[in-house]
Structure 1
Amino acid sequence: MTAVAVDGNAQAIAITAGEWTLRVDPRHGGMVRALTRRGADVLRPMPEASTEPLESACFPLAPYVNRIAHGLFTWEGESHALAPNHPAIAHPLHGTAWLETWDLAEHREDALTLTHAHRADARWGWSFTARQTFTLTANGLHARLALTNTDTRTMPAGIGFHPWFARRGVEAIAFAAQGVWLGDEAMLPTRPAPADQLGDWSAPASLDRPALIDNCYFGWDGTLRIERKDGAILLESAGTRFLHLFVPPGGDFFCAEPQTTMPDALNRPTRDQPGTRALAPGESLTLDMTIRSA
């Protein structure tokens, strides 16, 4: 096992198994800085001097995912107002854990565990702990995110991972879903549409698109196949109903984010379909993600 200095304020920790190497920054948001297979980037590598999460290879989403419209929502009869949490985005997004310090709890040659504790404050009014476990095998990466309510009250909860896949060498992607949420100019969901509304991904399809895709697919079957020139890769997240796809035209990356809820789930008419979890004190919510060779 090795530790690699990134700059004066950050440290990346590397683990390796077979042809795979993972580099993680536990200090800044529990971010993944790189994931490679046979030396080729599977996830977009983070610039060496950067600690900006939006330049990372992957980060955790907790205790909510994507945007909360205007930071306003009501939970158990109480109104809540959250301020924007990133200067580039008008609405608070992705929770709080991606912007906070994590601790290294365990480090082995092929695995590591990070932990984070949040005390209720203006950014999120409930206390919680989060735990990320990364394990490499000869076939790829398995990651688990666990969120535990350490508050005395029931907490709304949604979690996910935000991997930024390297686009170089990617020829097509394919996945199955029941539908997609269309969004407005602020990338907030407006109405559901058939899964092929923005393009048919049920068979391998190119990422070359004339318009931005930043939309959440629901009824996802838990598998996304990435056809690459150096061999296909699978993203898997069993039991996760939502896949948020972000494909900027001409970008050198794309994001395929397994999530337990849709964006702005706290403000949807019903909580059943969006998947917001009412997490009782002491209760945990977990999500697994695998990125592996097909």
Structure 2
Amino acid sequence: MTATAIVSISDALTRLTVAPAIGGSLVAWTRLSDGLDLLRPSPADADAEGPRQLACYPLAPWSNRIANGGFDNPQGWLALSPNSSNDPLPIHGSAWQQAWQVVAHDASSLLLQLDSQVPFAYRAEQRISLEQGRLKIELKVTHLADQPSWHGLGLHPYFPRTGATRLQANAEQVWLCDDGRLPTALSELPTEWNFRQSAQLPSELVDNGFTGWDGRAVITQEDAGYQLELAVTGSEFFLLFCPLDKPFFCIEPVSHPVNAHHLPGRPGLRLLEKGQSCELALSLTYTALKP
């Protein structure tokens, strides 16, 4: 990745690097004392690989998969095409596949903006800041098209995973999925997916949405001597992605379930008129564990 593609901010404890032109993505968040990665480290060739190889990227104007080749708006059907080489369905909106612009930048904060025409006109903003080991990302989308449309938001951070990684997140139910990773039914939490008390991550593949979330979670990395506390506004749902045999996992705060455009009542989606906005914010607070 070329140095000119990167901007950085820092506080007394951590440093963040960002690639605005690669989907407005975070490249790395590291501890200053020793360079430890607090988010998944990005490969050197991330320019070619894109946001899915980086540390975090924004999801707008929806998150995750949409079935049936599109969705209904008040003015009619909006057709969508697959937008990823490894998924047959349109996924994660369009903001992650476009270059963002740096609007403001100082030592500890950054404002990125995207003016998009795909799949309809909208403006997205990310306000990113660091303060005493707390990373905050505020994602806002404003609808700019003349006709209204359904909107949803999310953030897709990747976290390091070891055998000692533990997660605490208080959710009520989980969506079971079909082979295409689309939700089929809400279920009570299986024992191995119940993180109301801090627990190790499952040894099986997990790519599911959880609902009834209070917007808080704690990731404990005891072998690395720290924990991250997540606090989210604008979200009652999260996606948990635990791939097999990979050194990372994802807990993604989202404003709506997977395929919400086709679920009864369109849970979590917002029908925005021109000039109206929706927002989602995530903070990650780093704390060193006592030896």
Give the TM-score of the pair, scaled to structure 1.
0.91
Counterpart mapping for 1:25-44 below 5 A: 25-37=19-31, 38=33, 39-44=35-40
The letter for the 1-side match of 2:214 is D
Q: 1:94 to 1:112 in 2, by over 3 A?
A: same
Q: Is the 8 A contact 1:222 1:237 kept in 2?
A: yes
| Counterpart Cα distance in 1 of 2:249 and 2:139 | 21
Within a 5 Å distance, the mapping from 1:10-159 to structure 2 comes to 11-37=5-31, 38=33, 39-51=35-47, 52-76=50-74, 78-119=76-117, 123-124=118-119, 126-159=120-153
Distance 2:158 2:275 in 1: 32
1:226-265 alignment, distance < 5 Å: 226-229=219-222, 230-265=225-260
* Residue in 2 that maps onto 1:180: 174
Deviation at residue 208 of structure 1 after TM alignment: 4.4
Q: Distance in 1 between matches of 2:64 and 2:13?
A: 32
Structure 1 residues 31-60: Cα deviation after superposition (integer angstroms, max 9, x where no partner): 100111242111101112212111010000
Name the counterpart of 1:201: 195
CA RMSD, Structure 1 to Structure 2 (Å): 1.5
SS in 2 for 1:41: coil
Q: 1:266 to 1:21 in 2, by over 3 A?
A: same
Identity of aligned residues (%): 33
- Asked if structure 1 preserves the Cα contact closer than 8 Å seen for 2:74 and 2:149, the reply is no
Which residue of the partner structure matches residue 155 of structure 2? Answer: 161
Distance 1:235 1:194 in 2: 23
Q: Is the 8 A contact 1:85 1:93 kept in 2?
A: yes
Moved more, 107-116 or 42-51: 42-51
Deviation string, structure 1 residues 90-138 (Cα, Å, up to 9, x no partner): 100000000001001111000111000012xxx51x2100000110011
Deviation of 1:181 after TM superposition, in Å, equals 0.6
1:168-211 CA-to-partner distances (Å, cap 9, x unmatched) read: 475311110111111111111111001336522111111241x2
Instruction: Verify the 8 A CA contact 2:136 2:284 in the aligned structure 1.
Output: yes
The alignment's TM-score, normalised by the length of structure 2, stands at 0.92
Runs (5+) with no aligned partner, structure 2: none
**Residues of 2 paired with 1:102 and 1:139: CA distance?**
25
Structure 1 residue runs of 5 or longer lacking an equivalent are 1-5
Match of 2:61, SS?
Answer: coil
CA distance in 1, matches of 2:234, 2:164: 26
C-alpha separation between the residues in 2 aligned to 1:208 and 1:42?
21
Looking at structure 1, the residues matched to 234 and 123 of structure 2 have their Cα atoms a distance apart, in angstroms, of 22
Which stretch of structure 1 is more off in the superposition, 105-114 or 232-241?
232-241
| Per-residue deviation, 1:291 | 0.7
TM-superposed CA distance for 1:25, in Å, is 0.2
* Residues 140 and 278 in structure 2, CA contact (< 8 A), matched pair in contact too: yes
| Aligned pairs for 1:262-281 within 5 A | 262-271=257-266, 274-281=267-274
Q: Is 1:214 paired with 2:212? A: no
Question: Does the CA-based 8 Å contact 2:20-2:102 persist in structure 1?
Answer: yes
CA distance in 2, matches of 1:95, 1:109: 30
CA distance in structure 2 between the aligned counterparts of 1:172 and 1:198, rounded to whole angstroms: 12
**Is the contact between residue 7 and residue 49 of structure 1 (CA under 8 Å) also seen in structure 2?**
no
* Amino acid corresponding to residue 44 of structure 2 in structure 1: E
1:28 Cα deviation after fit = 1.2
Q: Which amino acid aligns with 1:231?
A: Y
Question: For the residues of structure 1 that align with 2:67 and 2:87, how far apart are their CA atoms?
Answer: 11
Query: How far off is 1:154 after superposition?
Result: 1.3
Question: What does the per-residue CA deviation read over 1:137-168, in whole Å, with 9 as the maximum and x for residues that have no partner?
Answer: 11320110000011112121000100001114
SS in 2 for 1:266: helix
Tell me if structure 2 keeps the 8 A contact 1:208–1:249: no
Kept in 2: contact 1:169–1:228 (CA 8 A): no
